[in-house]
A and B are shown apart, each in its own frame.
Chain A
Amino acid sequence: MFDLQEVINDTKVRLCLDCGKCTAVCPVTRYDAEFNPRLVVQGALSQNGYGPVGETIWSCISCNMCMERCNYNVKFTDFIRYLRYKALVEGAEVQYNHGGTPQAIMHIMGRKDTKQNRLSWLPGDIKIDKHSDTAFFVGCAPYFDVLFSDLGVKTIEGTKGALALLNRAQIPFTLLPNERCCGRDLLVMGDIEGFLALARANLNEFKKRGIKNIITSCPEGYYTLKVDYPKFLENWDINVRHITEVIAPIVGTDQLVLGRLNQRVTYHDSCTLGRYSKVFDQPRHILNSIDGLEMVEMKDNREKALCCGASPWAFCGSVNKQIQKERLAQAAATGADILVTACPKCQIHLRCAQKDKESDDIHQIEIRDLSAFVAQSLLPQEVS
């Protein structure tokens, strides 16, 4: 499916200057000396792209910190995705986490004839416009909440918060009862077939309902629909926006008045919304528009934000946990009571690290979803 030469050209790996800046800033390398992004590229390129690569290709968490520093913006994460795809084709074994449940769910979801029942969480007071050509893409939140119920995570609160904000701002949208997972986790693992099944099923759903615009609160869904879908699908022409891009311009105007929250929070930039999509200002603008809210930045923020150590539900282990510890420590150092993030996977992974209540070097800061948090500040509306 992938032509090696095309991948090499597209990712510009031949331009690698061999400077090692990527390895120096990689959070995985910090805790696993065997992982070396530069060596992955150089090793793979030796023998014209067929050089030895080894097990370490599975260690990358796709945070893109390497690309942030690279002089030539070599697309490392795309290249490693190709190496993973090749390894899978050649029969490599994947270490799934959580029993492979997420992947099994995604594969079943990817079937054309799957007809889901995924909207039972929908509160009765959310207004939906059946005829709107704008859809709110929910993503995997309903599934996450069942799967990770023992973490106490309720990522669907984020969705509900986003919908409440859209309702308040009187922005019409519809919900798709059979939307699929965006497929990012399979794509990142190199399971391109699995990803394509989901992507095609999604495209079918959107086209069937004449959807022209998508708003979503999940950063991974946002990036995948906006950037990866056009690369892999032929007829993709849907405009994709993140909830913060929709809300930020209108917050503080008559269209959307936020209330008051007397809290001290810190904002965690998720990699896909931050470094990948460069959406840094909008979430901050929204938080700063809430009266009484004090927003403190962590040591590494914006382009330099430390990844939450998220995995594509595979090869997740002690290295990820170390990264989560580091990020939680940075959050604690700000003195904030709450860590706010837009990404459900960040929430899940950080909370997973926090499951360990015994260690005194894992900080038990409260973690909230951005949309849920902001929606909390909405004053009750008078019924007209």
Chain B
Amino acid sequence: MNSEELRIGVFVCDCGLNIAGSVDTEKVRESAEKLDGVVVSVRNKYTCADPGQEEIKRCIREYSLNRVVVASCTPRMHESTFRNCVAQAGLNPYLFEMASIREHCSWVHLHDREAATDKAKDIVKIAVSRARLLQPQEETKIPITDKALVIGGGVAGIQAALDLADAGHQVYLVEKAASVGGIMAQLDKTFPTMDCSICVLGPKMMDVGRHHQITLMTYSQIEAISGYVGNFTVRVRKKARYVDETVCNSCGRCAEVCPVVVPDEFQQGFSSRKAAYIPFPQAVPSSYLIDMEHCLGNSPITCGKCVDVCEKDCIDLNMQDELVDIDVGVIIVATGMDVYDPTALDEYGYTRFENVIATMEFERLICGGGPTEGKLVRPSDYQVPKRIGFIQCVGSRTEDKGYPYCSNVCCMNTIKDSLLINEHYPDTEVFVFYMDIRAYGKGFEDLYRRSKEEGVHYIRGLPGEVIEDPDTKNLIIRVENTTTCLVEEHELDMVVLSVGLKPSDDLKHLTGIINISQTADGFVMEAHPKLRPVDAPTPGIFFAGSVEAPKDIKDSVTQAGAAVARASILLNSGTVHGDAVKAVIDPEKCPSCGLCARVCPFGAIEVDVKAKTGARVIAAACAGCGACAAECRFEAITIQHFLDDQILAQINAALEEEPEKKIITFLCNWCSYAASDMAGISRMQYPPNNRFIRVMCSGRVDEHFILHAFKLGAPIVLLSGCHIGDCHYSSANHWTMKRADRLWNRMEKLGIRPERLQLEWISAAEGPRFAKIMHDIEDLRQKVTQEEIERTKEVLAVEKLTHLGSIEEPSVAS
């Protein structure tokens, strides 16, 4: 507590007629003067305007004010204005409090001047009671390491790395395969331009390998990530290649003599490679490696032929994995996606019928660098197929086997493939069996039109099954042509399943290491799907490419640029400003139970439950929601600038006079408070019995605040937050819900009607609904008898309100 004398200044605003029209601001000013600690009470016409601000600064100097309260509009509008104002006068901006007597009072009680004025007086009293307990705060400045980590070396990761490097930042690019390139390196041509894929990607790959600002780590995986925005520590495991990539000159002699032959994954298993191999000719780094899983053994007695012929002497069969620790300021996740395996869709015969293949296999067959050097032949007899069918939506748009979403690129990929076939083999007939053709992008519809003009048959209907003729190995497809409503049978030489795309299997591994989460479809969750599409909810982490959702090359590259732009904001500014609303843990009270760490949606609390060293808040990661403070069973956590005492003081002030007429409402800053403002702006009228207490998140509201309100005679308490799933602090409002459940149980046991605590989820747009709730809740209040209130006061007078030391622990949501 302050030892200095409190000198509070109150500034009541007329706001022209906006406030003065329905509230007697002079009376409000007068009543404020009488409050404890208030040394001056002033009334302005327009406090936010220059003259008004000047007056505040003048008073601060003249009256040596050390707390300022402005009673005017909503803090969501002018809090920062006035904070700057008082800061200019030399006062710490966090010693400023704002009371909303416009959106919360004058605009919503237009026709009852007396009641509105009384409520405005109360609002000022509540604000002053908080102001008394405000402390000066310093905003944290976190330095940012000017280095970036890009996880994933597909086209998105490559583009992001290049952009960051060209912008002058140091970049680590970590790729789990032995070469960068990803899926794009395996494609033949790209749509809609029909560019050769590896030809356009190759130069970028080389740039990434050469760039002096990029440290390329291939054949590497992320082991661990710790830290927070601007200060991440990453441990990378560089898997042993058994070849020194800086020395290897790709002569290929080792591969020539290697006796082990295995299927070549890059060629989708159609051809083979040796255990000593280079992933593909254009690989970056251009170095061979040894596949130790299939190598005969790393002892010279077993084989060692490769070592013998290596002219550069760069094969070391005893190489070990290397662990590298790096420090970075930002992380861009670009780990890409996987391709759906259609084996489960048994009716299409994939793996049972030789001539049924999937998308990537087709790409390799038709690619000049592929196993057949671009000659499109069918697997059973190496003949060029005369009739090829593409089946769309395999594993997409289904609840059955596969994924419910549309995989975005398969329609265009098939259209592109159809044109490739037509180009190389004009005599081959192509059939495309589809549900919808999605050709939404630039140049896409053109390509579709070209494909139709070239004579590709588009049949609207998906085959029920594929049957193989055991003699010819041809495939027979029965499909309903839904346009003609007739069932057709087609005999085809080859069938290509246009498979969908799915989240990368590696994502599970990554979500365990870094604080990113997945949406219901398994791809990563962005901070906001519309307004922050490349930011992760955790600060300092960004997404690029198809890790976020299936997309084509253009969108991947675009997104990479966007992620780099967002990351650059941090890297260029050099520091990150955290606002002062942070959790603070008292180490003396903390028994290291670990509950706060589990509850935090941002992983901003570290605790060693075994070592019992006390929980520690990582200030940079802390968003200030307050869920930890409310959940802590040992009263060891509080939130700066939203201390327990400050909130309790507001409750005390609100219920000092005629408590039975007052409804205490907790509004979360982002949704519910915004809704109340929206109701005010729309001039929706409602009864004046509510007293609002602003918190940053509904998760901040501790059970004992609510019980304290009941103890002081409140008839009703309303707890309001964002809709589940929309919480500004990710999942903090789940704890609000659980807490409400616990409280209802407790109230029932104490003989307090649970309906007296109301829980509402109100979104920022729901102004009218907010007003309706205000009406409904006043109806509820009128049904609460004085008897009930008195009985409650008696019961709670002897009840322990805090949950100090209580054993019952909530189950933690995963």
Contacts and interface: CB of A to CB of B under 8 A. Distances in A.
Interface of A: 17-25, 29-30, 33, 36, 38-39, 69-73, 304
Nearest to B465: A25
A17 B487 CA distance: 17
Contact of A20 (B393, B400, B480): B480
Contact of A25 (B460, B478, B481): B478
B51 interface: no
Interface string B340-366: 000000010000000000000000000
Contacts of B486: 33
6 contacts: A18-B482, A20-B462, A23-B464, A38-B480, A71-B400, A73-B400
B398 interface: yes
A69 B347 contact: yes
B461 interface: yes
B482 A22 contact: no
B398 A22 contact: no
Nearest first, the 6 A-B pairs at minimum CB distance are A24-B464, A20-B480, A25-B464, A71-B398, A23-B480, A20-B461
Contact of A24 (B398, B479, B485): B479
Contacts of B461: 19-21, 23-24
B5 interface: no
Contact of B463 (A24, A29, A38, A72): A24
Given A19-B461, A22-B464, A71-B400, A38 B487 contact: no
B657 interface: no
B809 interface: no
Nearest to A42: B482
Interface in B378-413: 393, 397-400
Interface in B449-486: 460-465, 478-482, 485-486
A24 to B, nearest CB: 3
Nearest to B402: A71
Contact of A33 (B460, B478, B487): B487
Given A20-B480, A24-B464, 19 more contacts: A17-B435, A19-B435, A20-B460, A20-B461, A20-B482, A21-B461, A21-B462, A21-B463, A21-B480, A23-B487, A24-B462, A24-B479, A24-B480, A25-B347, A30-B487, A69-B400, A72-B399, A73-B399, A304-B347
Interface of B: 347, 393, 397-400, 435, 460-465, 478-482, 485-487
Given A18-B435, A20-B461, A38 B482 contact: yes
Contacts of B460: 20
A20 B481 CA distance: 7
- Give the most central of B393, B463, B481: most A CB within 10 Å: B463
- Give the most central of B399, B464, B478, B485: most A CB within 10 Å: B464
Given A18-B482, A20-B481, A36-B485, A70 B400 contact: yes
Given A25-B464, A71-B398, A19 B482 contact: yes
B478 A24 contact: yes
A74 to B, nearest CB: 10
Given A19-B435, A19-B462, A29-B487, A36 B480 contact: yes
Contacts of B464: 21-25, 69
Contacts of A19: 393, 435, 461-462, 482
Contacts of A17: 397, 435
B170 to A, nearest CB: 48
A288 B465 CA distance: 29
A353 B400 CA distance: 35
Contacts of B487: 23-24, 29-30, 33
A36 B464 CA distance: 13
A193 B599 CA distance: 56
Contacts of A25: 347, 464-465, 478
Nearest to B489: A24
- Give the most central of A18, A39, A73: most B CB within 10 Å: A18
Given A18-B435, A71-B399, A39 B485 contact: yes
Contacts of B485: 36, 39
A18 B485 CA distance: 11
Contacts of A20: 460-462, 479-482
Contacts of A36: 480, 485
B435 A24 contact: no
A331 B393 CA distance: 34
Contacts of B397: 17, 71
Nearest to B435: A19
Contacts of B479: 20, 24
Contacts of B465: 24-25, 69
Contacts of A18: 435, 482
Contacts of A39: 485
A18 B435 CA distance: 7
A30 B479 CA distance: 11
A18 B483 CA distance: 10
A103 B460 CA distance: 42
A234 B767 CA distance: 43
A373 B54 CA distance: 101
B398 A72 contact: yes
- Give the most central of A19, A36, A38: most B CB within 10 Å: A19
A22 B461 CA distance: 10
Contacts of B435: 17-19
Contacts of A73: 399-400
Nearest to A69: B464
A70 B398 CA distance: 8
A321 to B, nearest CB: 20
A27 to B, nearest CB: 11
A72 B399 CA distance: 5
Contacts of A30: 487
Contacts of B481: 20
Contacts of B482: 18-20, 38
A228 B347 CA distance: 29
Contacts of B463: 21, 24
Nearest to A26: B464
A350 B485 CA distance: 31
A166 to B, nearest CB: 36
Nearest to B398: A71
Nearest to B434: A19
A71 B464 CA distance: 11
B221 to A, nearest CB: 36
B551 to A, nearest CB: 22
Nearest to A12: B399
B297 to A, nearest CB: 43
Contacts of A70: 400
Nearest to A303: B346
A18 B434 CA distance: 10
A71 B435 CA distance: 12
